[in-house]
A = this chain, B = another copy of it.
Amino acid sequence: MRGQTAYFEDFAVGDTLELGSVTVSEDEIIEFARAYDPQPFHIDPNAAAHSIFGGLIASGWHTCALTMRLMVDGLLSKAASLGSPGVDQIRWQRPVRPGDTLTARATVLEVRPSQSKPDRGSMRIRTEVTNQEGETVMWMESIGIMGRRPAT
């Protein structure tokens, strides 16, 4: 990446992007899960303590959402992002617990100019999310559409 706005041409296979960190609180875990994933181990600390998880854990979708926020702040807000057609594989490898600090790093796996639309290209990105112990809590491979640098 270089310059003010990053375009498709600014990314190459193997590029690694540090996306920053975020700390998640118990309140936020419960608030997200009450709205979108109200399973006992996500919303009820007491029930969670007696579950197989041994305590409250964040919804995997909350971890995805927090990761997306890091992706936007650390990359997409400075790039000619045109959205995404989808994700290939998400793996929630370890629980995310209240107070955890998550750090995301993205690696470019593939870049492909669009055959049908000359103004854009697609990128395959692997994003790895680690906690404050350095353990991977989640990884995913997603597809992003990026605008190409306009001709001048």
Could you list which residues of chain A lie within 8 angstroms of chain B, going by C-beta atoms? 32, 35-39, 41, 52-53, 59-61, 64-66, 68-69, 72, 76-77, 81-93
Contacts and interface: CB of A to CB of B under 8 A. Distances in A.
Contact of A87 (B35, B68, B84, B89): B89
Contacts of A91: 85-86
Nearest to A86: B91
A38 B72 contact: yes
Contact of A77 (B39, B83, B93): B39
Nearest to A28: B35
Contacts of A38: 69, 72, 77
A68 B61 CA distance: 8
A89 B87 CA distance: 5
Contacts of A64: 61, 64
Contacts of A86: 60, 89-92
